[in-house]
Amino acid sequence: MSHVAVEPSVGIGHEWLAFLVHGKPVDPFVGSGSMRDASNQPAPWQTVEDVQKMLARDRVANEASRSVVSRPTPQPTALQNLFDELSKRPRRSAPPPVQVWGFAVPAALSGFVDPINRSRAMLDLGDNWDGEGSLGYDESTWRRAIELAIEIAHRFWRNRWDRPLTPMIMKGPEGSIDLLWQTPRRELLLNVSTDVEEPATFYGHDRAVQRRTVEGKLDPAERNEWLLVWLTE
């Protein structure tokens, strides 16, 4: 009888390997008791080829049993369901900005349109418009003031998704422009000078707590929407 090298596999009993080593039937009842025939006698294995066939069938059966083990399909969470639902909806583009006197006013700041239109009348005032020697108002100063108001308010909107208050655009001293925001509790005043090199100044106070004030100069490099955050606290 020839000796054949057989690769062990999962599920092979020691009696199978003993048969291959010794070349004769081994009483498998000593140990596992898994290889008796119907007459309770050792199975009549005659050749190595028979054993190899049994081993091959055993290996295929083991691999098949492992492959059919299924894992439960994960169930989508409520958040995933919401995301899937929203992703199916057509996306809406943001409304276009409103064009007024060369300013692109974001749709969220549509309340700025009327104050801008009304404030432009101050540009028609010449020097000594009040009979006390006050300077008239230059369009470049007016534009810088409105651009500053739009920038601060739009940053506030994008960061907090809260529609900002609309300022009053008023005549300031010596040709400067004032921007005034008011709430029932607080007010905030920004002043834009005629000098383009001079930073805008701000002053705010709390009517409920008179000592609580904020004041200073705006840094153009900073995100100055914090002023509207303070105003609406």
Interval 81-115: pLDDT, tens: 777 777 777 767 778 998 999 999 999 999 999 99
Q: At residue 153, does pLDDT exceed 50? A: yes
* Beta-carbon count within 10 A of 233 CB: 9
Higher pLDDT, 87 or 177: 177
Task: Give the distance between the most distant pair of CA atoms in the chain.
Answer: 130
- pLDDT value, residue 5: 43
The pLDDT of residue 179 is above 50? yes
Q: Which of 68-82, 107-121, 201-215 has the lowest mean pLDDT?
A: 68-82
Where residue 73 falls among pLDDT bands split at 50, 70, 90?
Answer: low
